[in-house]
Structure 1
Amino acid sequence: MRADGAEEPPAKRLKAGPPRRAPPALDERRRRLPVFQARGRLLSRLRSLDCAILIGETGSGKTTQVPQYLYEAGIGRQGIIAVTQPRRVAAISLATRVSDEKKTELGKLVGYTVRFDDLTSDETRIKFLTDGMLLREAIGDPMMQKYSVVILDEAHERTIHTDVLLGVVKAAQKKRRGLGKLPLKVIVMSATMDVDEFSQYFNDAPVLYLQGRQHPIQIFYTKQPQSDYLQAALVTIFQIHQEAPPSQDMLVFLTGQEEIEAMTKTCRDISKQLPDGLPQMVVMPLYASLPYSQQLRVFQPAPKGHRKVILSTNIAETSVTIAGIKFVVDTGMVKAKKYSPEIGLEVLAVQRVSKAQAWQRTGRAGREDSGFCYRLYTELEFERFDKMTIPEIQRCNLASVMLQLLALRIPNVLTFDFMSKPSPDAVKAAIEQLDVLGAVERREGQLVLTPLGRKMAAFPLEPKFSKTILASPKFRCTEEILTIVSLYSVDSVLYNPPSRRDEVQAVRKKFISSEGDHLTLLSLYRAFRKVNGNKTWCKQNFVNGRNMMLASDIRAQLRDICVKLSIPIESSRLDTGNIRRCLAHSLFTNAAELQPDGTYRTVDSQQVVAIHPSSVLFHCQPACVVFNGLLHTNKRYMRDLCVVDADWLYDAAPDYFRRKLRTARN
Structure 2
Amino acid sequence: MSTKYNQLQEQRSHLPTFEYKQDLVDAIREYNILVIIGETGSGKTTQIPQYIMEELPELKKVGVTQPRRIAAITGKFQFAKRVSEEQGERLGSLVGYNIRFDDRTSVDTRLVYMTDGILLREATMDPCLNKYDVIVIDEAHERTLETDVLFGLLKQTHRQRPDLKILIMSATLDVAKFSDFFGECPIFEIPGRTYPVKVVYSLDAPKLATIKSAFVDRAVETAWTIHTQQPEGDILVFLTGQQDIERACKAFSQKDRDCDYRRQVKFYNHGDGVSRAAVYPLFASLETFEQKAVFELPRQGERKIVFATNVAQTSVTIPGIRYVVDSGFVKEKSFDPNTGMDALLVTEISQAAAIQRAGRAGRTAPGKAYRLYNQESFERMEPNTIPEIQRSSLLGTVLALKTMNIVDVINFEFIDPPEETLVKNALKQLYLLEAIDEEGKITKLGVKMNHFPLSPCLARVLLASVDLQCSYEVLIITSMLAGDMELFKSPRKEEEAIEAEKCKIKLAHHTGDHMTYLNVWHEWKWRGKSRKWCKENYINYKVLETASNVRSQLMDVMDKLSLKIIKGPLIKRKKSKSSKRHIGDNDHGESVDPVPVLRSFLTGYFTNIANKAAHRSVFSHYAPDEHLGRTSAGVSSTALVALHLHPLCALSNMLDKAKIQYSELDWIMYTNITYTNKAVMKGVSKILWDWVKQGDGQARIRKLPQTRLNGEAQPSVEAEDLQAKQKQQAAEKEQNNIASLKDLEESKKRRAEEIDMIRQRALARRKKE
Q: State the TM-score, normalizing by the size of structure 1.
A: 0.90
Match of 1:232 in 2: 218
Residue 200 (structure 1) shift? 1.1
Please state if 1:290 is matched with 2:308. Answer: no
Secondary structure of 2:133 counterpart: strand
Match of 2:260 in 1: 275
- Tell me: CA distance 1:524–1:565, structure 2 relative to 1, closer, same or farther (3 Å): same
Please state if 1:260 is matched with 2:245. Answer: yes
Match of 1:580 in 2: 598
Please state if 1:216 is matched with 2:192. Answer: no
The letter of the residue matching 2:151 is: L
The structure 2 residue matched to 1:63, chosen from 19, 39, 45, is 45
**Contact map agreement 1:533 1:545 (CA 8 A) in 2:** no
Per-residue CA deviation, residues 241-296 of structure 1 (Å, 9 max, x unaligned), is 22235x53222222222222233333333433333536333322222222212222
Residues of 1 paired with 2:234 and 2:539: CA distance? 30
- Tell me: CA distance 1:346–1:660, structure 2 relative to 1, closer, same or farther (3 Å): farther
Residues of 2 paired with 1:442 and 1:149: CA distance? 38
Q: C-alpha root-mean-square deviation of aligned residues, in Å?
A: 2.3
Task: Please list, as runs of the form range in 1=range in 2, the aligned pairs for 1:114-263 lying within 5 A after superposition.
Answer: 114-177=99-162, 183-223=163-203, 224=205, 225=207, 226-227=211-212, 228-245=214-231, 248-263=233-248
Match of 2:643 in 1: 609
Residues of 1 paired with 2:693 and 2:201: CA distance? 55
- Tell me: CA distance 1:602–1:406, structure 2 relative to 1, closer, same or farther (3 Å): same
The structure 2 residue matched to 1:458, chosen from 446, 451, 476, is 451
Match of 1:18 in 2: none
Residues of 1 paired with 2:694 and 2:249: CA distance? 47
Residue 152 (structure 1) shift? 0.6
Secondary structure of 2:345 counterpart: strand
Task: Please list, as runs of the form range in 1=range in 2, the aligned pairs for 1:470-485 lying within 5 A after superposition.
Answer: 470-485=463-478
- Tell me: CA distance 1:624–1:263, structure 2 relative to 1, closer, same or farther (3 Å): farther
The letter of the residue matching 1:451 is: K
- Tell me: CA distance 1:463–1:392, structure 2 relative to 1, closer, same or farther (3 Å): same
Secondary structure of 1:38 counterpart: helix
Residue 626 (structure 1) shift? 2.1
**Contact map agreement 2:343 2:676 (CA 8 A) in 1:** no
Residue segments in structure 2 that go unaligned for 5+ positions in a row = 266-274, 571-591, 624-637, 656-661, 706-769
**Contact map agreement 2:488 2:648 (CA 8 A) in 1:** no
**Contact map agreement 1:59 1:214 (CA 8 A) in 2:** no
- Tell me: CA distance 1:24–1:311, structure 2 relative to 1, closer, same or farther (3 Å): farther
- Tell me: CA distance 1:642–1:266, structure 2 relative to 1, closer, same or farther (3 Å): farther
Residues of 2 paired with 1:23 and 1:310: CA distance? 31
Task: Please list, as runs of the form range in 1=range in 2, the aligned pairs for 1:618-637 lying within 5 A after superposition.
Answer: 618-619=652-653, 620=655, 621=662, 622-637=665-680
**Contact map agreement 2:437 2:443 (CA 8 A) in 1:** yes
Secondary structure of 1:220 counterpart: strand
Residues of 2 paired with 1:301 and 1:344: CA distance? 45
**Contact map agreement 1:365 1:372 (CA 8 A) in 2:** yes
Residue 57 (structure 1) shift? 2.1
The letter of the residue matching 1:199 is: S
**Contact map agreement 1:332 1:376 (CA 8 A) in 2:** yes
- Tell me: CA distance 1:273–1:502, structure 2 relative to 1, closer, same or farther (3 Å): farther
**Contact map agreement 1:251 1:309 (CA 8 A) in 2:** yes
**Aligned residue pairs: how many?**
630
Residue 451 (structure 1) shift? 1.4
Residues of 2 paired with 1:156 and 1:272: CA distance? 40
Per-residue CA deviation, residues 605-645 of structure 1 (Å, 9 max, x unaligned), is 31322222232333534333222222222222222322223
Task: Please list, as runs of the form range in 1=range in 2, the aligned pairs for 1:81-100 lying within 5 A after superposition.
Answer: 81-87=62-68, 88-89=71-72, 90=74, 92-100=77-85
The letter of the residue matching 1:565 is: L
- Tell me: CA distance 1:650–1:351, structure 2 relative to 1, closer, same or farther (3 Å): farther
Match of 1:386 in 2: 382
**Contact map agreement 1:291 1:547 (CA 8 A) in 2:** no
- Tell me: CA distance 1:557–1:493, structure 2 relative to 1, closer, same or farther (3 Å): same
Secondary structure of 2:113 counterpart: strand
Residue 660 (structure 1) shift? 11
Per-residue CA deviation, residues 164-186 of structure 1 (Å, 9 max, x unaligned), is 11111121111023xxxxx1011
The letter of the residue matching 2:605 is: L
**Contact map agreement 2:5 2:86 (CA 8 A) in 1:** no
Secondary structure of 1:351 counterpart: strand
The letter of the residue matching 2:66 is: Q
Residue 79 (structure 1) shift? 2.6
Residues of 2 paired with 1:403 and 1:493: CA distance? 28
- Tell me: CA distance 1:296–1:69, structure 2 relative to 1, closer, same or farther (3 Å): same
The structure 2 residue matched to 1:638, chosen from 681, 689, 692, is 681
- Larger displacement relative to structure 2 (367-376 or 448-457): 367-376
Residues of 2 paired with 1:233 and 1:376: CA distance? 7
Secondary structure of 2:509 counterpart: coil
- Tell me: CA distance 1:134–1:257, structure 2 relative to 1, closer, same or farther (3 Å): same
The letter of the residue matching 1:211 is: P
The letter of the residue matching 2:132 is: Y
- Tell me: CA distance 1:118–1:35, structure 2 relative to 1, closer, same or farther (3 Å): same
Residue 25 (structure 1) shift? 2.6
Per-residue CA deviation, residues 554-584 of structure 1 (Å, 9 max, x unaligned), is 1111122222222232222421232222222
Residue 68 (structure 1) shift? 1.0
Residue 378 (structure 1) shift? 1.9
Per-residue CA deviation, residues 3-40 of structure 1 (Å, 9 max, x unaligned), is xxxxxxxxxxxxxxxxxxx9993222211111111112
Residue 656 (structure 1) shift? 5.6
**Contact map agreement 1:255 1:333 (CA 8 A) in 2:** yes
- Larger displacement relative to structure 2 (82-91 or 127-136): 82-91
Secondary structure of 2:652 counterpart: coil
Residues of 2 paired with 1:221 and 1:631: CA distance? 34
Residues of 1 paired with 2:294 and 2:104: CA distance? 25
The letter of the residue matching 1:512 is: A
The structure 1 residue matched to 2:435, chosen from 435, 439, 446, is 439
Residues of 2 paired with 1:610 and 1:353: CA distance? 29
**Contact map agreement 1:157 1:389 (CA 8 A) in 2:** no
**Contact map agreement 2:138 2:169 (CA 8 A) in 1:** yes
Per-residue CA deviation, residues 481-538 of structure 1 (Å, 9 max, x unaligned), is 1111111222344444423323322344321223222222221111111122223223
Residues of 1 paired with 2:601 and 2:687: CA distance? 8
Residues of 2 paired with 1:197 and 1:40: CA distance? 26
The letter of the residue matching 1:586 is: G
Residues of 1 paired with 2:672 and 2:375: CA distance? 35
Match of 1:403 in 2: 399
Please state if 1:655 is matched with 2:699. Answer: yes
- Larger displacement relative to structure 2 (298-307 or 107-116): 298-307
**Contact map agreement 1:159 1:393 (CA 8 A) in 2:** yes
The letter of the residue matching 1:609 is: L
Residue 657 (structure 1) shift? 6.3
Residue 405 (structure 1) shift? 0.6
Please state if 1:550 is matched with 2:569. Answer: no
Match of 1:592 in 2: 610
- Larger displacement relative to structure 2 (58-67 or 140-149): 58-67
The letter of the residue matching 2:195 is: H
Residues of 2 paired with 1:27 and 1:316: CA distance? 27
Larger gyration radius, structure 1 or structure 2? 2
The letter of the residue matching 1:168 is: L
- Tell me: CA distance 1:646–1:386, structure 2 relative to 1, closer, same or farther (3 Å): farther
Q: Identity of counterpart residues, as a percentage? A: 37
The letter of the residue matching 2:229 is: E
